[in-house]
Chains A and B, each alone.
Chain A
Amino acid sequence: MNISPQHRSTRIQIFVYCVLGFHAVVALIAPFLPLMPTDKQDSGAMLQGFSSAHWLGTDALGRDVLSRTLHGGRPSLAIAILATALSAVIGIALGSLAALAGGWVDEALSRLIDFLLALPTLILLLLIASFFGHDPFILIVTLGFMYAAPIARVARASTQVLLARDFVRVARLQGGRGVNILLGEVLPNVWRVVFTEIAMQFTWIILAFSSLSFLGLGASPPTPEWGLMIAEARSYMTINPTAVIAPIVMLASLVLAVQALVDRE
């Protein structure tokens, strides 16, 4: 049987949606599943392999790896979703206003976007996380601003292209106000392009947050979080590799699925 490329790409897409759905469901229902508490330590059963009591074994403190892995996406997902939403709002507002206003406003906003793009992201994140502690609110606001710049750039470019199109000019000639044109004519059409960029930023934010946790500056220790779990379990990798592999598989499948969704060439 010869499978046509189109067939194949649909099948890959279905698979990608399944992976994303799986992550969403797990993140939502993890607290209601009959799992062990994520912070219950068992000094009699440290670094065990597979068993009927601990399906994926236990970590160095005797905590259940399966339970921690299934809970481990919740902090990253919550922070990434909120931060991405914030960066989408800021980015679209900045970018489309710059394109719509033109002139010196455009010039000023573009320099602001350039400035945000030039910031050394991870250093800044590390600094803020270190000096202001693990406050999720501050983290979300920082991530939201830092990752808004690429969205703003794409929004500005695609708004500019659309503003020259006939249907927008007609709307303008009919006396529509700037904001109405933006919301009614431009945004629905730039949405698709901008959405791709937003999804990209979503993966970057997840990666940034889990890297922060890995370095010990994101989620704080008893919390189950994939980056943190990998950092903790790495030292005992030779004894119980599943404690490292399980969070790696979850994190990898999540970011790869989002990337595959974005990346349909």
Chain B
Amino acid sequence: MQCDGSELAFRDNGMKNFARRALFTIGAFVSLAVLSFLGIDALPGDGCTALLGRFGTEAKIAECRVEHQLNDPVIVRLGSWASDVVQGDLGYSIKRDEQVAQIILPRIRNTAMLALVAAIMAFPTAIAAGLLIGRFPRSRIGKAINTMGVVAMTLPEFVIATVLWLVFSIWIPIFPGVTVVPSNATFMELLPHIWMPALTLASVVFAHSMRTMKAGVTTIQAMPFVESARLRGTKERVTLLRHILPAALPPVVNTIAVDAAWLLTGTFVTEAIFNYRGLGRLTIDAISDRDTAVILPIVLFSLGAYLTMSLIADTVVRLLDPRLRQHRS
């Protein structure tokens, strides 16, 4: 397909698309946030029952509810919660007697660090492996890596974590098995304890992008422009890196985005196993305490992470793939 629009027209169109997509993301986030509030509100139990537990008498719970204005109609509470959130106040956990922001932000930081290390381990290697396995499908090493990746992708994290732990902490003690650092430790204090959970997470997500990459390379290799590059005598390395790689990359960006969102929000099991004080452990603790004041912002964070990542992915794909820049309106 030929593109005949001027540079200016393309930019204009691109911005408009982006704006529309961003607006949709915000709308989806707001409506999902309201739904989450209502859903969590509908669960049996609130901050007061969480605080007083089974031992709270009816009278005490009622008193606590009056104190924290939990008896207001749901619309009123939704309104005041929404206005608080807009002003940056995430609320207050009656159970933990602490501002939710103070509980949740250090945990988000820890999980983000874990996610970053896992992402650095997984994604570049996955792209490289996918490119090479797609290019040399008969290679034995490639086949072995492919199989191992698929096995790691299929197995539950607690199995991978347990096996890694058995191997690298007990049989060959390289890494500490259980993390015992406070949730506000500095990055350098945390780093020695990050490797094992990061390795677990990296092996879970590795195969997704590797396989997407491999499938892309297999398809693109058969295309005429690759053959023409080869017939022109382009060096194999250049064909691979300049012709095949950019063309195979867009779908991988989407896979990476979904996995990155998962690394930020789906690490409950891994964090629980390694006793890593991130968002995942906090989620499990908050859920078993039924501390709805903490659960709600976590749900919002995970919705936000998915929506943002998919927005970023769409934008990057649009930038990477010239065909999408114009023929969408």
Q: Which of A89-97, A139-147, A203-211 contacts B (4 or more CB under 8 A)?
A: A203-211
Q: A211-B156, A234-B273 are in contact. List 17 more A-B contacts (CB 8 A).
A: A120-B265, A122-B268, A123-B287, A123-B295, A126-B268, A130-B290, A131-B290, A210-B158, A211-B269, A214-B156, A230-B162, A237-B162, A238-B170, A251-B156, A252-B159, A255-B154, A259-B150
21 contacts between A and B (CB under 8 A): A118-B307, A122-B266, A123-B265, A123-B295, A123-B302, A126-B268, A127-B43, A131-B45, A210-B156, A211-B156, A215-B272, A237-B165, A241-B166, A251-B159, A252-B159, A255-B154, A255-B155, A255-B156, A256-B155, A259-B154, A263-B150
Residues 43-68 of B at the A interface (beta carbon under 8 Å):
43-45
Cα A198 to Cα B159 with chains together (Å):
23
- The number of residues on chain A lying at the interface, defined by a beta carbon within 8 Å of a beta carbon of chain B, is 30
* A244 with B158: CB separation less than 8 A: no
Residues 240-265 of A at the B interface (beta carbon under 8 Å):
241, 244, 248, 251-252, 255-256, 259, 263
Q: Which of B32, B151, B165, B290 contacts A118 (CB 8 A)?
A: B32
* B306 with A252: CB separation less than 8 A: no
Cα A251 to Cα B43 with chains together (Å):
33
Cα A64 to Cα B45 with chains together (Å):
39
Cα A255 to Cα B157 with chains together (Å):
13
- The number of residues on chain B lying at the interface, defined by a beta carbon within 8 Å of a beta carbon of chain A, is 37
- Does B199 sit within 8 A of A, measured CB to CB? no
Cα A214 to Cα B283 with chains together (Å):
15
Cα A46 to Cα B158 with chains together (Å):
24
By beta carbon, the residue of chain B nearest A131 is B43
Chain A residues with CB under 8 Å of B151's CB are 256
Residue ranges of B at the interface with A (Cβ–Cβ < 8 Å): 28, 32, 40, 43-45, 150-151, 154-159, 162-163, 165-166, 170, 265-266, 268-269, 272-273, 283-284, 287-288, 290, 295, 298-299, 302-303, 306-307
Cα A131 to Cα B273 with chains together (Å):
23
- Does A231 sit within 8 A of B, measured CB to CB? yes
Chain B residues with CB under 8 Å of A210's CB are 156, 158
* A127 with B287: CB separation less than 8 A: yes
* B298 with A123: CB separation less than 8 A: yes
* A126 with B155: CB separation less than 8 A: no
Cα A215 to Cα B150 with chains together (Å):
24
Chain B residues with CB under 8 Å of A251's CB are 155-156, 159
Q: Which of A126, A203, A227, A238 contacts B283 (CB 8 A)?
A: A126
Closest 5 CB pairs of A and B: A259-B154, A120-B302, A207-B156, A214-B158, A130-B287
Residues 192-247 of A at the B interface (beta carbon under 8 Å):
203, 207, 210-211, 214-215, 217, 227, 230-231, 234, 237-238, 241, 244
Chain B residues with CB under 8 Å of A126's CB are 268, 283-284, 287
* A120 with B299: CB separation less than 8 A: yes
Cα A214 to Cα B45 with chains together (Å):
25
* B283 with A123: CB separation less than 8 A: yes
Shortest B21–chain A CB gap in Å is 14
By beta carbon, the residue of chain B nearest A114 is B28
* A131 with B158: CB separation less than 8 A: no
Chain B residues with CB under 8 Å of A122's CB are 266, 268
* B268 with A215: CB separation less than 8 A: yes
Shortest B260–chain A CB gap in Å is 15
Cα A252 to Cα B160 with chains together (Å):
10
By beta carbon, the residue of chain A nearest B31 is A115
Q: Which of B159, B273, B299 contacts A248 (CB 8 A)?
A: B159
Interface mask (A101-134 → B, CB under 8 Å = 1, otherwise 0)? 0000000000000000010101100110011000
By beta carbon, the residue of chain B nearest A213 is B158
Cα A175 to Cα B124 with chains together (Å):
56
* A211 with B290: CB separation less than 8 A: no
Chain B residues with CB under 8 Å of A241's CB are 166
Cα A212 to Cα B21 with chains together (Å):
35
Chain A residues with CB under 8 Å of B299's CB are 120, 123
Chain A residues with CB under 8 Å of B170's CB are 237-238
Shortest A197–chain B CB gap in Å is 15
